[in-house]
Structure 1
């Protein structure tokens, strides 16, 4: 039965939604509102000539993988899976990370208890009377691991005994145990809330409900207040991260959409931005240099290029021109003063994605491009596995990847020259993108240290996307800035192999020292600072 057509505007749908906001509840209301916005966007897209079923499928049903072998198999081409693996993967088949049992050393955050032998000590005679030897300590102890569940935010209730005199009436209360402290909420509580909220995308209300179920109430408003107070304390660490990121050798940047409810077009802090810009974005910047990596997040109306330009204002004079890696969108390129130069490279993975999208329609042509790029990525993985320094890696790519890319360049040009591909077709558009940006896509063949793609920044933005999917929006600018701060600190810890929970705890405990010398309290050196000042043992 054909459904009856009913014309309704988006404004009418919004009005209907507002009418049932209270009975729906805030969470259900936000989900239904997002569905209405999606319907409106898809309707507007269908009204344009650019809309295709393939684009709608990619928009609504994301592909699970873009690996060459899988993409070609989905297009109906049988391939040798071994051909699309990097050299290291072909020779030795190793387990994927995260599979199998974890060793005791993997439990870095476990509370360790040393258990001495109840009957023997070093130097005692062997219990076997026929042996006659003596026992000595082993380097590796026996391990017994026990894992238990607990609330994310735990609480201890001290019941202090009270005694009252029957004559004078004075009340005498027991003294609190040593180490209880004066504050109701320990530093670790704020750190854990920040980890859950900005590191794992846990909304305030969801954590409030979980804590309520576990018998330790923690209202959403209290969570926000604790995190806000902590953000003010550790702001110097964020400022120092920005300063050091400006000195990086390689700078990756990109952005993704974000919602901030309180933003309007006439906001004072957006006076430098064109009035017609209404979008809100979270920009991700990953700076690599001096053996460490820094991840930064900035939410507002500014694009990634504008935020990168603001960071680079703190770059020290006399440093060589940094390498910038991004996709080919003009909004990712910063407007820099003439005295500051930038070596720009474009993301090869982004160009490859254009080919992946049209592979179902042009399987044979796309196969050559995908396999050529796969070979280049294989060489890059080999260089990484061997730990090649930048100059050696450049020579390696020139020798091995250079001929592959040159053959690919000739093939791309021949598709148009020999009229094998229609320029306005999907494949023609993908080839045009490669040819137009070829110099910047192949920067890794000319510049030492230049990466192949911008994947490190796209992975960083997943943290912001996780927040957007779970919490849907920031309520105001302060909330967005607070999220940027904690995401930057947490992700920088993850990039450098540091424990973000411990790092946030130590920043709070040493807030005064942080103000005086923030450079000594970075994720990659704060443990050395603690050891040097003797605070490490106290913290333990």
Structure 2
């Protein structure tokens, strides 16, 4: 599948034009590379024409797609006006400061040349006594997978033929049984490399071959599948717990499954069905009343709204949860009522896309919107309760949103801005979805934007950019389970490598008592 836009620098394009002219004048054929470059240029031209024919895209957005402009949406990058300096506030505590780090192995080195109480070898007058030891923190490197050949001594009776084999030490059996070639730790590392670092199976095999340990891509997949089998009971329990969450972030991103066939699915809010083929990875962050967050992903033919329906299907809590998403109707659940809050970052982006045509008006809106996020940052720094946060936004943020709303309505009433223009569409989006956008000023616990789940989906996007697709629905399910567990463990602040190793080692117990192996319970028990 060709990319819609291909990066071709000006010099390469000029050189191509010269070669095409020369080939035409001398009746010569172009090289394969030149044909590919020419094809890329034609595809880019065709896509650009189609985008320009689509009145829903602005020149600013098209320039970002072409890579001419930076994709940053910061006001300081968008507007020429200098960013106003503000007083430095106390830096809030970040998640990284609370994150559990691997403790270094402490190795003590004895001093044999001089003992306590001996005469000083230097001055020959004083006596040596103990002081605070010296310290060196050394971080060493090694290949990810190191082969170990365990040779077990054996004896055999010359009368009955019985064998007597030396037992393997506990540290060896701790990483897998006596018939297991790849240890639990190796399997866990393969899964993390693939679904968090974005290293495809074939690339892991190539790296290991380079480092002297030959592991095929199919072998890596087989071992990762075993990891999925071991952690699935805990994932299933997390899925059930997510149904009773008090708040949800929801979004999706496109994906590909090569073996996926179009399926007949019911049209939402209707008894009709239609053939569906669009593959998406839907992501949810479910915030529990206990303060823990569960991150779940699903790659399938269907939108995020269908994914949240499956999560809410067995919901037992009667209180309606809060759902944060963008304004797409396909993201709304149909199984139960929710408090629908909409993402202000999406509303702001509507104005950002038309800044080249309406610089003064958009800069004013961005300045106002910036105050809203500064207010949110203030509530975080002051560690306000949900009630105090609501009151603070009602006092400081609600007047700003109402001012933007009044400004837009005034221009529509005076007909000073055409409703079908780029700025008119941005204003109409804000007015149409004002209730959802301003819900954080009327309801406790409502978030201001959906940036958190969008950031979490970058884990999936990273893997998609490197591997490009899933081969089958089975492979997609394996990826969803492992990625969900990695992301949830990361949110809990645990060592995911040790966590996956423990789940494999205690697979039978985890299957019987999955609640004992939830990431936050693991943090209390083993770290």
Which TM-score band (shorter chain)? 0.7 to 0.9
- State how far apart, in whole Å, the 2-side matches of 1:35 and 1:347 are: 37
- State how far apart, in whole Å, the 1-side matches of 2:134 and 2:502 are: 31
Does residue 109 of the first structure (1) align with residue 102 of the second (2)?
A: yes
1:190 and 1:230 in contact (8 A); partners too: yes
Q: Measure how far apart 1:252 and its partner are.
A: 0.8
1:423 and 1:429 in contact (8 A); partners too: yes
- State how far apart, in whole Å, the 2-side matches of 1:200 and 1:455 are: 21
String of CA shifts for 1:282-326, please: whole Å, max 9, x gaps.
0010111221111110111111011001101121143x2110000
Does residue 351 of the first structure (1) align with residue 354 of the second (2)?
A: no
- State how far apart, in whole Å, the 1-side matches of 2:112 and 2:52 are: 80
Does residue 387 of the first structure (1) align with residue 391 of the second (2)?
A: no
1:270 and 1:301 in contact (8 A); partners too: no
Does residue 54 of the first structure (1) align with residue 54 of the second (2)?
A: no
Count of aligned positions: 483
2:101 and 2:495 in contact (8 A); partners too: no
Shift in alpha-carbon separation, 1:341–1:197, aligned structure 2, 3 A = same
* Equivalent position SS for 1:361: coil
Aligned residue for 1:23?
none
Q: Measure how far apart 1:58 and its partner are.
A: 2.8
- State how far apart, in whole Å, the 2-side matches of 1:312 and 1:207 are: 38
* Equivalent position SS for 1:309: helix
- State how far apart, in whole Å, the 2-side matches of 1:162 and 1:520 are: 40
Q: 1:152 aligns with which of 118, 130, 144?
A: 144
* Equivalent position SS for 2:488: helix
- State how far apart, in whole Å, the 2-side matches of 1:398 and 1:96 are: 25
1:191 and 1:504 in contact (8 A); partners too: yes
Q: Measure how far apart 1:125 and its partner are.
A: 7.4
Shift in alpha-carbon separation, 1:445–1:93, aligned structure 2, 3 A = closer
2:262 and 2:277 in contact (8 A); partners too: yes
Does residue 80 of the first structure (1) align with residue 77 of the second (2)?
A: no
Aligned residue for 1:533?
none
Task: Give the alignment of 1:191-340 within 5 angstroms.
Answer: 191-266=188-263, 274-289=273-288, 290-318=290-318, 320-336=319-335, 340=336
Q: Measure how far apart 1:40 and its partner are.
A: 7.1
Does residue 497 of the first structure (1) align with residue 493 of the second (2)?
A: yes
Aligned residue for 2:75?
68
* Equivalent position SS for 2:286: strand
- State how far apart, in whole Å, the 2-side matches of 1:63 and 1:274 are: 42
Shift in alpha-carbon separation, 1:201–1:142, aligned structure 2, 3 A = same
- State how far apart, in whole Å, the 2-side matches of 1:247 and 1:130 are: 75
String of CA shifts for 1:466-502, please: whole Å, max 9, x gaps.
1110000000000000000011000111112111111
- What is the RMSD of the two structures over their aligned residues, measured on CA atoms? 4.0
Shift in alpha-carbon separation, 1:134–1:366, aligned structure 2, 3 A = same
Q: Measure how far apart 1:408 and its partner are.
A: 2.2
Q: Measure how far apart 1:445 and its partner are.
A: 0.4
Q: Measure how far apart 1:156 and its partner are.
A: 1.6
- State how far apart, in whole Å, the 2-side matches of 1:446 and 1:227 are: 46
Aligned residue for 2:28?
none
What are structure 2's unaligned runs of at least 5 residues? 1-16, 22-31
Aligned residue for 1:178?
169
String of CA shifts for 1:102-138, please: whole Å, max 9, x gaps.
99x99933541242653799xx7799999999868x7
Task: Give the alignment of 1:384-533 within 5 angstroms.
Answer: 384-530=380-526
Q: Measure how far apart 1:163 and its partner are.
A: 9.3
Q: Measure how far apart 1:527 and its partner are.
A: 3.2
- State how far apart, in whole Å, the 2-side matches of 1:162 and 1:200 are: 43
String of CA shifts for 1:29-59, please: whole Å, max 9, x gaps.
9xx9999998876565455454554343233
- State how far apart, in whole Å, the 1-side matches of 2:126 and 2:100 are: 38
* Equivalent position SS for 2:366: helix
Aligned residue for 2:5?
none
Q: Measure how far apart 1:525 and its partner are.
A: 1.1
Shift in alpha-carbon separation, 1:96–1:514, aligned structure 2, 3 A = closer
- State how far apart, in whole Å, the 1-side matches of 2:105 and 2:517 are: 26
- State how far apart, in whole Å, the 2-side matches of 1:437 and 1:387 are: 29
String of CA shifts for 1:164-199, please: whole Å, max 9, x gaps.
99x99x999973651333111111111000000001
String of CA shifts for 1:249-295, please: whole Å, max 9, x gaps.
11011100000000011479999994332210000101112211111
Bigger mean CA offset, 354-363 vs 469-478: 354-363
